[in-house]
């Protein structure tokens, strides 16, 4: 990982469970490296002290707070964004931060204010101009280009940023698929590709569009990152179309993390109340579904890329403080007590996020 100032390193918290890493991690390394020769064991070496920089990313649905009672000030949106940046600084301010639900003048202004001073003011704040905006991408590296595609239904979008990263071009896609409020049956207004696939509704259609558009937009041979709130669990058409139908890799599972357990909340990202402060002012987890993802498409060794990309595990094998797994998944670790005012807020959102560390060798 590139050398960066350490922020709140004493608070670094990486949730770790006993794992099957010894069984699955060599296989995932070979898969992500695009190595077709299983006899090539060089990818299994733990020499991660390369001068080439990592590509690091975090993603979170930040909750706009527009449906919260007025007296809560957007469910304490200012406090929640402060806590978000506390978490980002804990993992040394990743290269890319994908945020969803940045919607409304207040949260937009607060985000710009914090990005100007937190993490050393190093982030470019990029936002789509069309649809309702909402998918904001923060990047520490200059954007080479940006593009936005409005998805079926006219509310949701796919925001593309191509980064001038030291490891090479990185294509980053940020999206938020339809929820109950705008999920509709797919009729003749849906694109032909969706009708041909006999999809049930607009969210399934949006997944097809995302798969097609990411392929069209990305540079040949680039590292591709797709993240956001997909409002769909791992058994859904949306997820399976991306992973099985379009070869996107679920970073969280590939790194050896456990699937969401609704009874304990372990491995889950969604389920807290979104129109009031009750859950966000409680130290209880409150999540019971996994609908937020970071997906990767890693170039093969034959693509001409200067990097051999290797996904860091949930154990943080390279020891840089950023493992691949959940993001902001503990109640506020920066204070002794969190809760209702005058205490600090417990969670930055009604969601938990995702983070990934992609090593470049």
Whether residue 32 has pLDDT greater than 90: no
**What CATH number should be reported for the domain holding residue 168?**
3.60.10.10
Q: Which domain covers residue 170, as residue numbers?
A: 25-30+50-360
pLDDT at 42: 26
More confident residue, 231 or 16: 231
- Tokens describing residue 166: 């030291």
Share of the chain above pLDDT 90, in %: 76
Domain-located, residue 45 = no
Whether residue 286 has pLDDT greater than 60: yes
pTM of the model: 0.86
More confident residue, 319 or 27: 319
For the ranges 3-12, 218-227, 342-351, which has the lowest average pLDDT?
3-12
Whether residue 215 has pLDDT greater than 50: yes
Whole-number Å distance between alpha carbons of 186 and 180: 14
Domain-located, residue 37 = no
Domain-located, residue 8 = no
Whole-number Å distance between alpha carbons of 209 and 231: 15
Domain-located, residue 87 = yes
Whole-number Å distance between alpha carbons of 211 and 332: 35
Per-residue pLDDT reduced to its tens digit, 309-358: 999 999 999 999 999 999 999 999 999 999 999 999 999 999 999 999 99
Measured at the CA of 225, the angle between CA 224 and CA 226, to 5 degrees, comes to 125
Whole-number Å distance between alpha carbons of 76 and 298: 38
How many domains does the structure of the chain reveal?
1
Mean pLDDT of the chain: 86
pLDDT band, very low/low/confident/very high, at 11 (cuts 50, 70, 90): very low
Q: Which class for 45: exposed (0-12), middle (13-18), buried (19 or more C-beta within 10 A)?
A: exposed
Domain-located, residue 36 = no
């Amino acid at each position: 990982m590139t050398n960066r100032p350490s922020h709140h390193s004493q608070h670094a918290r990486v949730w770790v469970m006993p794992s099957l890493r010894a069984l699955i991690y060599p296989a995932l390394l070979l898969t992500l490296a695009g190595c077709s020769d299983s006899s090539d064991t060089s990818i299994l070496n733990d020499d991660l002290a390369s001068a080439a920089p990592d590509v690091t990313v975090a993603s979170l649905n930040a909750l706009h707070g527009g449906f919260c009672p007025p007296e809560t000030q957007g469910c304490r949106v200012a406090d929640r964004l402060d806590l978000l940046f506390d978490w980002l600084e804990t993992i040394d301010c990743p290269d890319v931060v994908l945020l969803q639900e940045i919607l409304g003048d207040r949260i937009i202004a607060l985000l710009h204010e914090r990005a100007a001073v937190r993490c050393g003011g190093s982030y470019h704040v990029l936002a789509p101009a069309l649809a309702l905006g909402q998918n904001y991408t923060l990047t520490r590296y200059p954007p080479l280009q940006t593009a936005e595609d409005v998805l079926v239904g006219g509310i949701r979008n796919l925001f593309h940023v191509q980064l001038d990263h030291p490891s090479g071009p990185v294509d980053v896609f940020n999206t938020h698929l339809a929820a109950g409020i705008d999920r509709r049956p797919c009729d003749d207004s849906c694109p032909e590709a969706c009708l041909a696939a006999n999809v049930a509704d607009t969210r399934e259609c949006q997944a097809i569009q995302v798969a097609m558009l990411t392929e069209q937009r990305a540079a040949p041979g680039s590292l591709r990152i797709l993240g956001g709130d997909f409002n769909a669990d791992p058994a859904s058409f949306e997820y399976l179309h991306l992973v099985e139908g379009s070869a996107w890799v679920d970073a969280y599972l590939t790194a050896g993390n456990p699937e969401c357990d609704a009874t304990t909340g372990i491995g889950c990202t969604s389920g807290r109340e979104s129109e009031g402060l009750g859950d966000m002012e409680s130290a209880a987890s409150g999540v019971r579904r996994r609908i937020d993802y970071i997906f990767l498409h890693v170039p093969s060794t034959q693509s001409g890329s200067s990097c051999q990309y290797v996904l860091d595990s949930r154990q943080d094998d390279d020891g840089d403080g950023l493992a691949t797994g959940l993001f902001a998944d503990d109640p506020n670790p920066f204070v002794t007590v969190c809760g209702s005012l005058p205490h600090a807020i417990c969670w930055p959102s009604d969601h938990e996020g995702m983070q990934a560390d992609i090593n470049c060798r």
